[in-house]
Structure formats: structure tokens, C-alpha cells
Structure 1
């Protein structure tokens, strides 16, 4: 009853928009992958949330079902290498109380990726366009996400964001080495990753530290990576010990990549437009 009253007051102009902006919505957590309800050109579905995707991806079958016209053939790069995609213009997506109008999205066959990463069909991978549209709060453990008003003062440790090759990175420490730049990657549901150059620089890739090889990768296919155990990593003042990490050989990789396995231990506030990230340890 109170929720309905608040909605009516908002429509009548008696409630400040910040009240509506701060309303929590469902964040669907399956293992270490997170999804949100979205509508794409008016069609409802779920989207895999990926803050490190420079562009939103739509499965080709879903694109046909909603009448999205595709054009061109281009190469897209992912953590598994390269893949071929078409593009579609003028796509409208609504998510977390946010209207993303006239997007250009990549359209490709997500069947293999879906089965390899989540075991079920993924229609949409929603990229950084959502995070570029404002300030968002995520509580992965509680399964909640909300869009925040700029007037809200976030709790936690504020960390600067820097764009590195289209992806937002923030500072962490690895085994006492501070200033390591890690990608903020809500689409990473696997191990933390270390770029090969950073691993060499920090002495992590020495032969005696390699524990095994493991398959990984996203767009572009499956790749084999060396797996190491990091003695410690520090994120926003919280220390994690004995952290499994995969060494990433792609040249485009940042120093590191921090995904859901670590980020779920924080209440997160993102502010891509303001170049800031707040992490509050749970």
C-alpha cells in the first residue's frame, strides 16, 4: 500500500525523483554470474551483466525475433580472442530504471559462449553503456541493484577509475605491490586474471609458481591459461589470501582483472561518469 502511494505521489509530482532513482531492483545471481531483467525494443528478457564489455552484445536468434536489422561484418575482440559480428543501430534497452536509447550493439551467435559459461541460452550481454548512464549500487550477496541519485553519499572506500582500452580499471595491491591496475569486471565469473606482462614484472609467472593449466575465455572461444596462487591481494583495504589467478596472454589485458568472486564481498557503488568506484567490505 505504501509503495503504491509513493508511486502515485511521484507521478503527481510530490516525491523527489531521487526517491524513485534509489529503489532497489532484482539482481539475479547464478554462481558467480549476475543477470538483470531488461527490455530490448520492448521485448522482456534477462541480460548477463558485463561492466567490462565495451559494447552490448545480442544473440543473433534474439535479434531476429525482435526484428533488429543487422548490417556489416566486423571483428570483435573478447577474452578468448576474436569473433565475427554484425551490428545493429537504434536499439533501445531499458534496465534498472534507465532508458538507453538508440544504441549500436553487436549481433553474433552466443550459443557456444552461453553453454560454456552459464549452461543456458544468453540473449543479451549488457555492457558498460548501462554504467555510463549514471551511478549504480550493487549488493551481489543480497541480489539487489539500484540506480542512485548523485545526491546520495556512498559508503566505503572511494577508488579512482581510469579507462584502459575501453575498460574501467582501479588500483589494487598484489602480494604487497601497490598500484596494480585491475579491470572492474562484473562479467568475469571465473578466476581473477593477471596480464602476462604484469605477472612477469611481479615475479608471478615464474615456472615454480604455475600450478596447472585451465580452460577459460569469453568472446572469441576457449583458451588455455596458466593458473597460479597469489599469496595475497588487497582491494579497498580488504585482504584476500591464497587467491587462484589465471595468467592472461592477450596484449590488450590490463595488469589484472577482478571479477565477481572478489567483488561479491563488497557493497559496490559505480560512478563511471564521475570516474569513481566505492567498495564497502561486507
Structure 2
């Protein structure tokens, strides 16, 4: 059973990466917050320190490809006053991801279990996050969520085209555009360079484009840098922290909704 004690916590923001305090099997650590991770991942060295034991070997798919992992049952995660027992989590070598994306050792990535378990109020610019009652009425524009390959998506408009974009607080890089949508929209012909990207699974090269407009919750952003995601499971778009930090956010995955309130002066 999931238990909830309403509590606020400091949201540590470094660049466009989000960190929260979490306790995993009774051991406190700092974890990356990732709404698009289908499960919580912990580093294999951290797993040995907390004594998880061996689990079932599986192949984990990330934004950079595939990697070997072990599934551990019966784990407990406590974060933001939310207690989540009897979870299945993935143990994986996070050394490459930690150094390449975060520039430091990474013990854990807390995934969508936390978002499924509670309604969260998130203020990235203000550095605050809290689990809040579902009886409160959030401010901002309510957007419906729809699951796609285990990730929640929300409606956005890209250069006049309505699409579903993954709501990804684990994406601290550019807005991502799936290759099929880029091909249909003629965006590949506008690419102007490439850069390294990708998370779990390794680094990948991604072509860079500039979107004329993207509209989210009534706010229009112009001349937005985006990278082409060529992974076979990529959605049409993936919106990360670079744009989501322009809003105060309330998430409620259980009720399939997110509320986005534009921050003053952010367009």
C-alpha cells in the first residue's frame, strides 16, 4: 500500500537537471527525477551498498539504445513524504550516464512510480516540489495525458501541427522530434548540424533543427532548438525541462492530467 504524508522538499536544479532527496531500501541518497522513466533505476554500485541481491536479467531500452539490467522485486522508495513499498526497480550501470549527462556519480533515477502515486506540485525555477492533496484545484491550463510506450504525452502544436509530446522531466537537453514526424513535416531538410545526445544505452548523434514555433498550454515559443530522435520507439515530440521550467506544474498521472501555469514574463 502506498502512503502519503503531505510534505514539501527542495528541488535541486543543476542546469536543466532535477534532483530530489529519496530513500531506497532505507538508504538516503539524491536521485534524478524523471517522469518519462517507466521504472526507477539504481546504479549497480549503489545496489551493492544497500544489499539488493541479484535479480532477473533484462534488456532496458533508453534514449540512447539498449543496456543490460537486473529487475529487483520488493524494493521500497520514500520521497517527498510518499512511501512506495513492494516496487520492482531496475539495477543498471549508471556510470556512463552519470558522467556524460550529469558530470557526477549517479545513484538513482526515480521514475514514474512517484508520479503515479501522488499529485505533485513542481516549481522548477523556484526550486520547490511537493506532494499535494487531490482535493485542491490546480492553477493553469489543464492538459490531458495519454500513455505512449509507457510514457505520458500531452497535446502541443508544432508549427501549426497538433501532436502528442512526451512529458519528460528527465530530459535536460533539447526538445526532441521523432524522425517520422520530422520527415512528414519536412524538418530534416532544415537540419543545421549535429550533436551528441542519448541517455541510458549510450551516446548517439542527433541532427539539430530550429522550430519556428511550438505552442504549449497557450504559450507560444519561437525559434526553438530541437534534436531529431531516431530511436524506433520515439514519439512525435518530447518536451523537457528547458521549456517546462517556464511553467509552474501540477502533475496527476493517476487522473491523466497535467496543469501548466505560465510563469510571469515567460514566453
What value does the CA root-mean-square deviation take over the aligned residues?
A: 1.2
Q: Name the residue aligned to 2:168.
A: 185
Partner of 2:9: 25
What SS class does the counterpart of residue 69 from structure 1 fall into?
coil
Q: 2:213 aligns with which of 213, 232, 238?
A: 232
How far apart, in 2, do the equivalents of 1:100 and 1:116 lie? 30
Structure 2 gap segments, 5+ residues each? none
Contact 1:70–1:107 (Cα < 8 Å) also in 2: no
Which of the numbers 183, 190, 200 marks the counterpart of 1:219?
200
Report the CA distance between 1:261 and its aligned residue.
0.2
Residue 97 of structure 2 is aligned with which of 113, 130, 143? 113
TM-score by length of 2: 0.96
Q: Distance in 2 between matches of 1:84 and 1:211?
A: 34
How many Å apart are 1:115 and its aligned residue? 0.2
Q: Which residue number in structure 2 is paired with residue 4 of structure 1?
A: none
Number of the residue aligned with 2:186: 203
Pick aligned residue for 1:261 from 242, 245, 254? 242
Shift of 1:215: 0.5
Q: Provide Cα deviations, 1:236-270, integer angstroms capped at 9, x if missing partner.
A: 01111111100011121111000000000000000
Name which one, 1 or 2, has greater alpha-carbon Rg: 1
Picking from 22, 25, 39, the partner of 2:23 is 39
Q: 1:68 aligns with which of 33, 47, 52?
A: 52
Equivalent pairs, count: 261
Q: Is the 8 A contact 1:56 1:126 kept in 2?
A: yes
Per the normalisation by structure 1, the TM-score is: 0.91
CA deviation map 1:42-73 (0-9, x unaligned)? 11100000000001100000000011112222
Is the partner of 2:255 in helix, strand or coil?
Answer: coil
Provide the C-alpha distance between the structure 2 equivalents of 1:24 and 1:156, rounded to a whole number of angstroms: 20
User: 2: CA distance between counterparts of 1:154 and 1:73?
Assistant: 41
Structure 2 CA distance for aligned equivalents of residues 280 and 265 of structure 1: 8
